[in-house]
A = this chain, B = another copy of it.
Amino acid sequence: DSGSLDQVARILNRGLSPSDIAHLLESTPPKERSILWRLVDKDLEGEILQYLSDEVRTDFLSKLNPQELVSITEDFETDDLADVLQQLPEKVIQEVLDSMDSQDRHRIEAVLSYAEDTAGGLMNTDTITIRPDISIDVVLRYLRRHRSLPDMTDKLIVVNRKDEFIGTLPITTMLVASPSSTVREVMNTDAVTISVNTPDTEVANLFERRDLVSAPVLSSEGRLLGRVTIDDVVDVIRDDADHSLMSMAGLDEDDDTFTPIIKTAKRRAVWLGINLITAFIASAVIGLFEATIEKVVALAVLMPIVASMGGIAGSQALTLVIRSMAVGQISRNNLGWLLNREFIVGIINGTLWALVVAGAAIVWFNDLMIGVIIALALMINLIVAAVAGTMLPVILRARDIDPALAGGVILTTITDVVGFLSFLGLATIVYA
Contacts and interface: CB of A to CB of B under 8 A. Distances in A.
Contact of A245 (B17, B20, B245, B313): B245
12 contacts: A27-B330, A144-B179, A146-B176, A237-B237, A237-B238, A257-B330, A257-B338, A269-B348, A278-B308, A279-B308, A283-B304, A293-B293
Contact of A316 (B249, B338, B341, B357): B249
A396 interface: no
Contacts of A244: 245
Contact of A51 (B28, B209, B276): B209
Determine the main DSSP class of A at the interface with B: helix
Say how many copies of this protein the assembly contains.
2
Interface stretch (A59-67, A107-115, A318-326): A318-326
Interface residues of A, number: 117
B307 A211 contact: no
A321 to B, nearest CB: 9
B26 A258 contact: no
B293 A297 contact: yes
Contacts of A305: 276, 279-280, 282-283
Interface stretch (A6-14, A88-96, A150-158, A220-228): A150-158
Closest 5 A/B residue pairs (Cβ): A241-B241, A249-B319, A300-B300, A149-B172, A211-B231
A147 to B, nearest CB: 7
Interface string A217-247: 0000000000000110011011001101110
A352 B269 contact: yes
A312 interface: yes
Given A213-B213, A237-B238, A287-B301, 13 more contacts: A143-B176, A144-B178, A148-B173, A150-B172, A234-B234, A244-B245, A245-B323, A249-B320, A257-B329, A275-B308, A276-B353, A290-B300, A294-B297
A72 B146 CA distance: 44
Interface in A15-49: 17, 19-20, 22-23, 26-29
A313 B267 CA distance: 12
A3 interface: no
Interface string A142-184: 0110111111111000000000000000011101111100000
